[in-house]
Amino acid sequence: MNPKNLHYTMPAEWAPHERTMLSWPVQASMVYPGNFDEVCGGYAELVKAIAEFEPVTLVVNPEDVERLHPVFAGHSIELLAIPHNDAWLRDNGPTIVVNEEGERAGVNWGFNAWGGKYSPWDLDDAVAPAVLEHLGLRKFDAPLVLEGGSIHVDGEGTMLTTEECLLNENRNPSLSREEIEEHVKNFTNVEKIIWLNRGLAGDETDGHVDNAACFAAPGKVIIQVCDDPSDENYAITQENLRILEEATDAKGRKLEIIKIQQPPYLEYEGSRLTLSYLNFYFVNGGIILPVFGGAAAETDRLAEEVLQQTFPELRIRTVDGMAVIREGGNVHCTTQQIPAGR
């Protein structure tokens, strides 16, 4: 049995949350372990910002529980001891699905550390089942390696993803495009997938869509764009823009497209940082938006302005994205929403 056969559906991210879940960083697995204190400071700021809007459960390694209790005392933050290798719960955590009666269950996707890039990942692959056991939710095991950051849904039958990631041979080499699409539809209950070609330049996830484009509402998509033809992201974002302009959703609607300018090009230790305002996260009554400061001050301001105009009813809560981004991801990558049941 799969979720679709039992009428479970993956809700849109802006649907009401019971809580948000995140994982705490692990120094041993960091790309730049010398940045551990700075990264932890950025995570703590992010966790506390989310707790301004809704309860938070923070997955921590058992040996970190006692040390972190005073850090989050006085906030709506639960510490949950689950062994893990890395901090990106969006990608190794469960996808929660909800049926017509408001009953919830969870999809346990296979996880292989973004195509086997970071070893070991055995603890991370066991996180989703442990989270679902903690939540007391039914588990659906998907026969597919998939990270949560590679998909985004509108809650009305349409999904955004990228071929660069979902069809990458380092994820599911034995499956055809048609088989992958069938599995994704069966486990999220979407009717139509809009396939972008590539994600942003420098993205070590092989082009996760959560850096490139996302739904703002059914029939409405936000895309990060680049206006500099000398930047690799120019061709990437122009192609994605063309695909979205030509697409229709599961309801047959043409898409309204909202553009956000990318931050200025930035390297760290010789590698391009994949800076994206699209890596924001919906919370109850608000949006958590990473900003980057410095040379990005003007695009920071414009991104906040565009999101406030797009979501006038929501509070835009900015957080410093630089500490977290140096570890390879950002706000959306770290989070996993737990939709409210009924």
Residue with tokens 């973004």: 114
Q: Are 155 and 15 in contact, with CB atoms under 8 Å apart?
A: yes
Residue with tokens 């069809």: 167
- Mean pLDDT on 17-26: 96
Residue 84: how many CA atoms within 13 Å on its side-chain side?
30
CATH number at residue 311: 3.75.10.10
- Mean pLDDT on 332-342: 94
Host domain of residue 262: 17-339
- Parallel/antiparallel/unpaired status of strands 315-320 and 335-339: unpaired
Q: Is residue 2 part of a domain?
A: no
For the segment 251-295, what is each residue's pLDDT rounded down to a tens digit?
999 999 999 999 999 988 788 889 999 999 999 999 999 999 999
- 333 classed as catalytic: yes
Distances (CA, A) of 3 to 106, 107, 141: 9, 8, 10
For the segment 222-232, what is each residue's pLDDT rounded down to a tens digit?
999 999 999 99
DSSP string, 53-100: TS-EEEEE-GGGHHHHTTTSTTSSEEEEE---S-S-HHHHSPEEEE-T
Give me the number of domains the chain comprises: 1
Tokens of 121: 């990942």
For the segment 74-131, what is each residue's pLDDT rounded down to a tens digit?
888 999 999 999 999 999 999 999 999 999 999 999 999 999 998 899 999 999 999 9
> What's phi and psi for 226, nearest 5 deg?
-130, 130
Question: CA 257 to CA 71: how far, in whole Å?
Answer: 41
> Cis bond leading into 290, ω under 30°?
no
Does the predicted model carry a pTM greater than 0.85?
Answer: yes
At residue 29, the pLDDT reads 76
Of the residues 40, 165, 226, 333, only one is catalytic, namely 333
CB burial of residue 208 (10 Å; 0-12, 13-18, 19+): buried
Question: CA 305 to CA 148: how far, in whole Å?
Answer: 27
Q: Is residue 9 part of a domain?
A: no
At residue 267, the pLDDT reads 85
Q: CB within 8 A of 41, min separation 6: which ones?
A: 323
The string over 93-102, giving b where at least 16 C-beta atoms fall within 10 Å of a residue's C-beta and e elsewhere, is bbbbbbbeee
pLDDT at 35 over 80: yes
Q: Is residue 6 part of a domain?
A: no
Q: Are 281 and 310 in contact, with CB atoms under 8 Å apart?
A: no
Q: Is residue 205 part of a domain?
A: yes
> Using a CB cutoff of 8 Å and minimum separation of 24, what contacts does 34-38 make?
35/323, 35/326, 35/327, 38/323, 38/326
Residue 180: closest CA among 141, 144, 151: 144
